[in-house]
Structure 1
Amino acid sequence: MSDAILGGPVPLQSNLYMPRTFADQVMRAVSRREWVLVLGPRQHGKTSAIFRFKRDLRESGFECGSVDLQRAPVLATFESFLEWFARQLARSLGRDIQPPAAADRGQVVEWLRGVVPPDAPTVILIDEASAIKDDVWRNSFYGQLRSLKNAVAEADENSFETRLVFVFAGTFDPVAILHRDNSPFNIVQNIDTDDLSEESARIMATAIWGGADDDAVAAIYAGVGGQPFLLQLLFDAVAACSPVDRRAAVDVELNSLRDRGHDHLRAIFRFVISDPELMDVVGRVVADGFAPFRAANSKDKFLEVLGVMRLDGARLTFRNALYAHSAKNLIQLGSPAEAEAGEAAVFDYTEESFDFVVDPQLREIAFAAQKGAVACHRGQSYRLALAGFGVALEAVLIDWLTEKGVAQYELARTSAVDRATRTGDSWRLVAREGRDPPAEWRLITLCRVAREVPGVAGQIEIPEVIRDLRNCIHPAVMRQRYRPEGQLAPEANMSAAALAAVIRDIKPPNP
Structure 2
Amino acid sequence: MAHLQGPVPLGDDHYVQRPFEHELLRELMADRWVLLLGPRQHGKTSALVRLQTELSENGVPAAIVDLQAAPAPQSYAEFAAWVGSEVRRQLATADQPNNDSEDIGVLLGAALPPGNTPAVILVDEASNIPDTRWRNAFYGQLRAISSRRATARPEDAAARLRFVFAGTFRYESLIDAANSPFNVCERIDTDDLTVDDVCALTCQILGNENAPLSQPIFEEVGGQPFLVQKLLSKLQGCEEMQAALGAEITKLRTGESDHIIDLFRKMLSEPSLAAIGARMVRDGVAPVEAADPDFRYMQVLGLARRAGANLVFRNQLYARIAATSPQLGGMAPAPTLAPMFPVSIDAFNNVQNAELREIAWAGHKGAIAAYRAGSNRLALAGFGGSLEAMLLDLLMRLPNGALAPIVAQANITLRGGERTNNPATWNLVNLIKAAPHAGGGQGFDPPQALREWRNLIHPAVAQRNYRPDHELEPEARAAANLHEILLRDLP
For normalisation by structure 1, the TM-score amounts to: 0.71
Which amino acid is 1:235 matched to?
A: L
**1:145 counterpart = 2:142:** yes
Out of 246, 260, 283, which is 1:288 matched to? 283
Residue 222 of structure 1: which of 211, 216, 219 is its match? 219
Partner residue in 1 for 2:105: 109
Contact conserved, 1:376 with 1:385, CA < 8 A, in 2? no
Measured in 2, the distance between the counterparts of 1:362 and 1:342 equals 26
1:125 aligns with 2:122: yes
Alpha-carbon shift at residue 89 of structure 1 (Å): 1.4
Q: Which whole-Å CA distance do the structure 1 matches of 2:149 and 2:358 have between them?
A: 57
Q: Which residue of 1 aligns with 2:313?
A: 318
Whether 2:250 is the aligned partner of 1:255: answer: yes
Letter in 2 for 1:174: Y
Taking only aligned residues, the RMSD between alpha carbons, in angstroms, comes to 4.0
1:94 CA drift (Å)? 2.3
Could you tell me the percent identity over the aligned residues? 34
Q: 1:312 to 1:336 in 2, by over 3 A?
A: closer
Q: Which moved more, 1:233-242 or 1:70-79?
A: 233-242
Other structure's SS at 1:190 match: strand
Find the aligned partners of 1:192 and 1:381 in 2 and give their Cα distance.
43
Alignment match, 1:272: 267
Q: Which residue of 1 aligns with 2:352?
A: none
Q: SS at 1:310's partner residue?
A: strand
1:476 to 1:53, Cα distance in 2 relative to 1, 3 A: same
Q: Secondary structure at the match of 2:208?
A: coil
Task: Check 1:93–1:376 CA distance in 2 against 1; reply closer, same or farther (3 A cut).
Answer: same
Contact kept in structure 1, 2:342 and 2:364, CA below 8 Å: no
Per-residue CA deviations over 1:472-509 (Å, capped at 9, x if unaligned) read: 94346496447784777424158899xxxxxxxxxxxx
> Does residue 206 of the first structure (1) align with residue 203 of the second (2)?
yes
Any gaps of 5 or more consecutive residues in structure 1?
A: 348-358, 395-428, 432-469, 498-511
Using the alignment, how far apart are the partners of 2:21 and 2:54 within structure 1?
11
Q: Give yes or no for contact 2:254–2:339 (8 Å, CA) kept in 1.
A: no
Of 68, 72, 75, the match for 2:73: 75
* Partner SS for 2:120: strand
CA distance in 1, matches of 2:28, 2:342: 48
Residue 341 of structure 1: CA displacement? 4.6
Q: In structure 1, what is the Cα distance between the partners aligned to 2:46 and 2:434?
A: 46
CA distance in 1, matches of 2:6, 2:172: 28
> Aligned residue for 2:20?
22
**Mapping 1:126-205, distance limit 5 Å:** 126-205=123-202
In 2: Cα distance, 1:223 partner to 1:369 partner: 30
The one-letter code matched in structure 2 to 1:140 is A
Partner of 2:470: none
Partner Cα distance (1:73, 1:313) in 2: 44
CA displacement 1:67-104 (0-9 Å, x = unmatched):
100011111110000111111112222221545654xx
Aligned residue runs from structure 1 range 8-47, under 5 A: 8-47=6-45
Distance in 1 between residues matched to 2:61 and 2:113, nearest whole Å: 8
For 1:475 and 1:339, the matched residues in 2 are separated by 40
In 2 relative to 1, CA 291–123 (structure 1 residues): closer, same or farther, beyond 3 Å? same
- Matched to 2:22, the amino acid is D
Quote the residue 1:92 is aligned against.
90
Which has the higher Rg, Structure 1 or Structure 2?
A: 2
Provide the C-alpha distance between the structure 2 equivalents of 1:198 and 1:64, rounded to a whole number of angstroms.
33
Alignment of 1:108-507 (within 5 A): 108-119=104-115, 120-242=117-239, 245-330=240-325, 331-335=327-331, 341-342=337-338, 387-390=387-390, 473-475=435-437, 477=439, 480-481=442-443, 485=447, 489-492=480-483
Query: Contact conserved, 1:39 with 1:172, CA < 8 A, in 2?
Result: yes
Equivalent residues, number = 408
Distance (Å, rounded) in 1 between the aligned partners of 2:154 and 2:165:
23
Match of 1:474, as an amino acid?
P
Tell me the TM-score normalized by structure 2: 0.73
Q: CA deviation at 1:367?
A: 8.4
C-alpha distance 377-336 of structure 1, shift in aligned 2 (>3 A): farther
Distance in 1, matches of 2:364 and 2:331, equals 28
1:201-227 deviation per Cα after TM superposition (whole angstroms, max 9, x unaligned): 111111111324232110011110000
- Pick which of 39-48 and 478-487 moved more: 478-487
CA contact (8 A) 2:203 2:209 kept: yes
SS of equivalent residue, structure 1 residue 70 = helix
The 2-side partners of 1:472 and 1:171 are apart by 42
8 A contact 1:126–1:169 mirrored in 2 = yes
Secondary structure, counterpart of 2:122 in structure 1: strand
Q: Give the distance between the partners of 1:430 and 1:140, measured in 2 at CA.
A: 40
Q: How much has 1:175 moved relative to structure 2?
A: 1.8
